[in-house]
Amino acid sequence: MSFTVFLVEDSPILRKRVETMVAALPGMQLIGMAADADAAAREIAATRPDAVILDIHLAQGTGFDVLRALQRDKVATAVYVLTNYASEAYRMTAKRLGARALFDKSTEFEQLREALVAAAPA
């Protein structure tokens, strides 16, 4: 059984980087991607991944919109925010809305990988 991951990111470059990272982790499978908040919330609810990697600024809507939708719809999944906007206010908002952690794309990418490995069953 694999540990499933869903990616919400509007940058093709970052999508490829995360896709490559997830593919290299044993037992992990990327099961879907979305670039806007509405599609992300809908597809995450439909696929019920073990983890979600979520950007804040999306093509339409925000990662905070996705977090609110997941809370409203009672979708239980581990959400890890990966963003260029890693201010303390964003970190606190993400936590309050149910994210396990927020990582800065430019300085904390490796910590996201470590968090996914720690979350996956041994």
Query: For the chain, which ranges sit under pLDDT 50?
Result: none
pLDDT of residue 121: 85
- Please name which of 109, 48, 40 lies closest in space to residue 76, comparing C-alpha atoms: 48
Q: Rounded CA gap, 97 and 69, in Å?
A: 10
pLDDT of residue 108: 95
Contacts of 13 (CB under 8 A, 6+ apart): none
> Tokens in use for 105?
């794309």
Name beta bridge partners: 53. Answer: 7, 80
pLDDT of residue 109: 93
Residue pLDDT, tens place only, 105-119: 999 999 999 999 999
Q: Rounded CA gap, 118 and 112, in Å?
A: 10
Alpha helices, DSSP H, located in the chain: 12-23, 37-47, 63-72, 88-96, 109-119
pTM assigned to the model? 0.95
